[in-house]
Structure formats: structure tokens, C-alpha cells
Amino acid sequence: MAADKKRYNMRISGLGGQGVVTSAHILGSCMDNAGKFASLVPFFGSEKRMAPVEAYVRASSEPIYEVGEVVYPDIIMIYHSQVVTHGKSYTMPFYTGLKKNSLVIINTGFEVLNEDDKKVLSDLNATVVQFDATALAIKIAGTELATNMAMMGMLLGLTGLVTEAHIEAAVRERFLGNSFVASGGTASLDSAIEKKFKKKEDLLAKNMEVINATFEMAAKIDLNSDELIINIAV
Amino acid sequence: MSLNKTLVDMDYLLNEAPREKHFITGAQAMAEAVKRASVDMAIAYPITPQSEVMHLVGDIYAQGHIKEYYRAEEELGTMSAIAGAARAGVRLFTATSGPGLLRGLEAIVSWPGHRVPCVLGILTRVVNAPLSIQPDNIEMAYMLHCGAVMLHAENQQDTFDYTLAAFAITEKVDVYIPVAVATEGFFVTHAKGYVNMMDEKYAYKEVDPYEAPVPAMDNEVPPARIQRDAPVQKSNFMSYLIHSVWQQEIWDSNRRAMKYIYQYLGGPIEVINPDADVFILASGCAAAQAREANRYAEEEGLSVGLIKVKAIRPFPKQEIRDALKNAKSVIIPEHNIIGWLASEVKSSIDNSGIVVDGPRVYGGMTLPVELIMTEIYTALGMETETLQA
């Protein structure tokens, strides 16, 4: 997997409530903050928890003309093991259309790939990075809701598309709104908003802690190794 | 208008008025064009994905940019009402999608013969069973033979520019037939892109009935004898003669629109890398996918040309013939199963064997750039990596 590609076409498969679409938006903003380009398309049916959700993100150092779903991705992210084990996905099997020499990141605490999956992925010379992003989110942020941050952090850590500063700006923009000016002394903020803001600032800090942890994990991964599956302990 | 607008001609509006960059959807882009076109009246019946456009046009009406706006009972009523309103000499806008277009088609195909100047937005959608709201532009094939001018927008910027230009083209004395501006539903209408727009204080000059080749009718006192003793009813001979002359005149009007497509849109086609052996030729949203394939090819060191077709009617036969004069192969990606664009191109060039039919997707599916790349590799005689299904 070459980490210096100009263009990545990504497919993110997860379940409702995991923040698949949210993280796709944040990925897009990260690219924008880095002065690069991104486009994204969400795809979902019923808007409920645990229902299949897919998001497609194109990230590039050049303007993007293409529209629509990513049919032939070079990066696949799986936010939930059930996408693989239960087929909870719009794309079955999950690696459909995957290009050669690609990267797959799976959030799982156990071995999800069967021998057939491994054969296909091995023939494609793919690299599969497996780690328990949910456990990491609970360990660091105290909530499984930061799973998407762990997944996004791992992706950006492995690809080096943007820096942590770009991510922080994007996460801040998403959770606090980019028009918000944090000036502690202003009396115009009533206590309710202040409390909420305090909570959101905490949330932001925890999210960044998760992302920083995945960056450290990613730094130790050698994508050029011959291993098909790289398991990362959380 | 009461909004204190600066009324200007279309050349100034499109090419000189200062523009600012906005990040908006295709539906917004079309509505923003309508806002700057001094439209007198808009009539529509909602259907996905057009409903987004006509909702926004409703907002514009509420803000005072349009004098009159109503929701008709359905599309046949909508399109008939457009014809009626046109007789009163007002500037008109309507839009529809897929099944709505086909329902309104009976009235729409009579517009050119009735010399109805108006702008019709076509936000494409599946029309065939199994029903779907996804983008598929087969409906444009049904429009090809009615005499209307047809433009096909690649992205949000095109949607804005073509819609504005359409208001000028439709009212030209030597054209005076409807202009349809088509683009793909969802892929363009519901997706955001960068659009450079002039300030909304600028608007196209208002319709001038004295410039029209057909006198406006006083609908308060309608001239009833026009219908009762129409010359076409005098005799079979007169009927056939007048009808044939009339239809020839409509298609001549259609051809005469070409010079305005040059004037306002810089011509009916855009060509990149004109000396290439292998070309991709596409219109609408497929042109965006083709543009991406063209860049992929360039990055891989392959020489591939791109021809984007902006005008579907009048069809730029001569321009395409010239552009493909020395081509060895032309790949035509399309968002429909019948390949109406490929048929048009084949009937325009004398070396039609160079046409690669496809790739095509339908039912509103995404058109992956990889499918176009596979055709490029094949055309260049290269090994192609089999894409796993």
C-alpha cells in the first residue's frame, strides 16, 4: 500500500449510530483544512441504530470532478464486525470492488475474516489492519461514541493525508461550530450554554486523545510488510 | 421589479458582471439563475428530484423576484399553462423530472410549434419500471425530436450558466422556441459544488414584447377567430403545406440557436487534448466522470482526449465531426441503457465504426471512472486489470 498516493477513494461501512456519515464529513473538512480536496456521499436506508450505513469519501491533492458512490475503492473501513459477520452492508461481501494493493481497516476485537475472505484479499495484495477501535474509544474517551474518531485517526495516521492540527480544526468545527469564538471572559454566554460548551470542550479533548492514540499506533505499523493481517492490540 | 435591481443584457450578466465563489447544490444553482433572470411567472408540479428546485423558486417568488408562481394540478396542466401564459408575452420558467416530464410531454412537444419561449429545467430521473427516483437520463431521448433547444449541464456551475443563457436564447427573434436545461438528479441537484455567481442585484433585462416575433395576445379580449378559422383548416392542401413549412421553420429556428450557444456558452462542445487518438465523449454528469478519466489517463502518461457536449439540440454535428476527424476510437459513457448520445454521434460522423458503445449505467447507478479507464486501456491495446465484480 503506497502511502503517497495523490488520490484515495474510500468506502466506509458501518452501522447506524456509529458516526459513519459524521466521520466522512470530518474527513472532508480535514482535507479542506489542509488545502486539499474531498467529496463525500452518504448512503443509508432506514435511519436507525444498527442498520447498515455506508459513506464514500474521495480525498485528493487536486480538484475532484467525479460524483456518486465509490464502486472500486482503494481504502475500505469497517466500523463494525457485523458488517462482515452478518453482512450488514450495502456492499456484499464487504471487499467487493476493492483494488489491488489496497488498505482495509477493521474495527474488531476478534478474527472476522474467514479463509475465503483471506484468499481474495491475499490475491489482491491487500493489507488488513485490525484493531478494537470501540475498546480504545471506551478506554480513552469513556464512550463507544468515539469509535469513529479511532477509525478516522487510524486511517489518517496510516495515510498521512493531513496533520493532527487539521483534524483538530475539523473536529472542533463539527462539534462546536466554526462560528463559535471561545472567549472565556464574555458575559454574554448564559450559564446553560456555558455548561454545554464545557461538556463539548471535554468531548472534543477526549476525541483528540483518541485520535492521538491511533496516530501513535499507526506510526508503528509497516504497511509494506508481507503480512495480510496486521493485528494491533489496544 | 421592486427589488431595485440593475438590469443588464445577457453578455454583461454572463461574462462581465463580477462573480463570487459559492458552495451550493445544483438545485440551488438553477434557482439562483432563475432569481437573476427577471422571470415573470413560474408554474410547476412537484416531483423528486425537481421538487428541490421548484421549492427554492417558490422562496424566490416569496422574496419578490418573480411576479407569479403557482402549483398546477399535474404536469400536463403545468405545461399547458406554460403555453397559455406564453401567449400573454411573459417570461416563464418550469422544471420537472422523469415521469413528470413524460406526463407533460404532450404539451411540451407542442411548445416549439406554438412558438412558446420558456425555460424548462429537466432534473433527470428513472422513468421505467421498476420505479426509482435515481438519476438516469433516458427521458432526454424522448425530448430529442420535438424541436426544443436542449442543453446538458455537467455540474452546478454549468447548471447556473446554462439556465441563465437559456432565458436569452429562448427569446431571440430568430429562435423563439423553448430551451430545456437538463442535468442529472441527485448527482448534481442534491450535491454541492463550487459555483461562481454574480451578485443578485444584477438581473437580465425584462422581457420586451416589442422584440417578440409573435404578438402577445390580449387574454382579456381573446381573438376567437384565430382558432375557429385557422388557415390549417382551410383545405388538406393548405393544411399539409403550412404544417410542413411550419415544422421546417421550427428546426431552422433550432439550428439558428447555435450562434447564441457560441455567444453565451463559448460553443456547443469543449475539447481537451484535440490531437489524441482516443477520445472520451460525454454530456451532463457523465462528462464529469469522463473529465476524471481524462485526468487519470494523463497521470498515467496516456494521451486521451475529452469532448464534452454541452448542446444536445441543436446537435453539434460539424463540430464533433471536425473534432473526431483523426480519432481512432471514441468512448461514449452514458447514464442510460439505450445510448442516445452514442446514436447521435454515430449519425453525425462518417467514421462511425470508431464509436465504443459505452460504458453505460442505468437505473441511476453511479458511473465509475474505472469503467471508462477499462475502455481506454482496451482502445489503446493495453492489458487491462480485471475489476472484480
| Residue A210 belongs to domain with CATH number | 3.40.920.10
The b/e string for B216-238 (b: 16+ C-beta within 10 A; e otherwise) is: eeeeeeeeeeeeeeeeeeeeeee
On chain A, the residues whose CB falls within 8 A of the CB of B299 are: 6
Domain closes at, from B168, B188, B210: B210
Q: Is B121 a residue whose pLDDT tops 60?
A: yes
More confident residue, A200 or B273: B273
Interface of B with A in 269-288 (CB under 8 A): 285, 288
Peptide bond into B49 cis (omega under 30): yes
Domain-located, residue B276: yes
Q: Reduce the DSSP state of residue B128 to 3 states and report it.
A: coil
Domain-located, residue A1: no
On chain A, the residues whose CB falls within 8 A of the CB of B295 are: 62, 65
Count of Cβ atoms closer than 10 Å to residue B209 Cβ: 11
Distance from CA of A26 to the nearest CA of B (A): 16
What ipTM was assigned to the predicted interfaces of this complex?
0.78
CA atoms of B289 and B296, how far apart (whole Å): 11
Look at chain B and report how many structural domains it folds into: 2
Whether B366 sits inside 8 A of A65 (CB atoms) is: no
Looking at residue A45, its pLDDT comes to 66
CA B126, B357, B321, B109 dihedral sign is negative
| DSSP assignment of B53-86 | HHHHHHHHHHTTSSSEEEE-SSHHHHHHHHHHHH
Q: Do B201 and B279 fall within a single domain?
A: no
CA atoms of A65 and B296, how far apart (whole Å): 11
Q: Is B44 a residue whose pLDDT tops 90?
A: yes
Looking at residue B224, its pLDDT comes to 57
The single-letter code of the amino acid at B44 is A
Q: Do B41 and B115 fall within a single domain?
A: yes
On chain B, the residues whose CB falls within 8 A of the CB of A66 are: 288-289, 292, 369
Tell me the average pLDDT across B259-284.
Answer: 97
pLDDT digits (tens, 9 = 90+) for A3-12: 557 789 999 9
Q: Is B287 a residue whose pLDDT tops 90?
A: yes
Q: DSSP letter at A132?
A: -
Selection from A60-69, B164-173, B231-240 with the highest mean pLDDT: B164-173
On chain A, the residues whose CB falls within 8 A of the CB of B285 are: 67
Distance from CA of A66 to the nearest CA of B (A): 5
Looking at residue A68, its pLDDT comes to 87
Domain-located, residue B237: no
Distance from CA of B124 to the nearest CA of A (A): 15
On chain B, the residues whose CB falls within 8 A of the CB of A67 are: 187-188, 191, 285, 288-289, 366
CA atoms of B236 and B190, how far apart (whole Å): 51
pLDDT digits (tens, 9 = 90+) for B173-227: 999 999 999 999 989 998 888 899 999 999 999 998 888 888 787 767 766 555 5
Whether A97 sits inside 8 A of B387 (CB atoms) is: yes
Q: Is A73 a residue whose pLDDT tops 50?
A: yes
Whether A97 sits inside 8 A of B388 (CB atoms) is: yes
Q: Which residues contact B316 (CB under 8 A, 6 or more apart)?
A: B258, B267, B268, B269, B309
**Could you tell me the residue range of the domain that residue A129 belongs to?**
7-232
The single-letter code of the amino acid at B94 is T
pLDDT digits (tens, 9 = 90+) for A199-215: 778 888 889 999 999 99
Closest-CA residue of chain A to B290: A66
Tell me the average pLDDT across B53-67.
Answer: 96
Look at chain A and report how many structural domains it folds into: 1
| Reported confidence tier of residue A181, pLDDT bands at 50, 70, 90 | very low
- Choose, out of B190, B194, B270, B295, the residue to mutate when testing the contact with A (most A CBs < 10 Å): B295
Whether A69 sits inside 8 A of B295 (CB atoms) is: no
Q: Could you tell me which residues of chain A have a Cβ less than 8 Å from any Cβ in chain B?
A: 6, 39, 41, 62, 64-69, 71-72, 96-98, 100, 120, 124
Domain-located, residue B244: no
Interface of B with A in 358-387 (CB under 8 A): 366-370, 385, 387
| Residue B366 belongs to domain with CATH number | 3.40.50.920
> Assign residue A3 a region: left if phi > 0, alpha if psi is -120 to 50, beta otherwise?
alpha
CA atoms of A143 and B132, how far apart (whole Å): 39
CA atoms of B243 and A113, how far apart (whole Å): 70
Q: Do B196 and B77 fall within a single domain?
A: yes
- Partner A contacted by B306 (CB < 8 A): no
**Could you tell me the residue range of the domain that residue B292 belongs to?**
269-379
Whether A67 sits inside 8 A of B368 (CB atoms) is: no
| Host H or E run for residue A219 | helix A191-219
Contact B45, B242 (CB under 8 A): no
Among residues A66, A154, A172, A144, which one has the least CA distance to residue A104?
Answer: A154
Looking at residue A184, its pLDDT comes to 40
Farthest-apart Cα atoms in chain A, separation: 63
Looking at residue A22, its pLDDT comes to 86
Q: What does each C-alpha distance from B63 to B33, B43, B67, B225, B321 come to in angstroms?
A: 15, 16, 10, 40, 47
Count of Cβ atoms closer than 10 Å to residue A217 Cβ: 20
Looking at residue B243, its pLDDT comes to 82
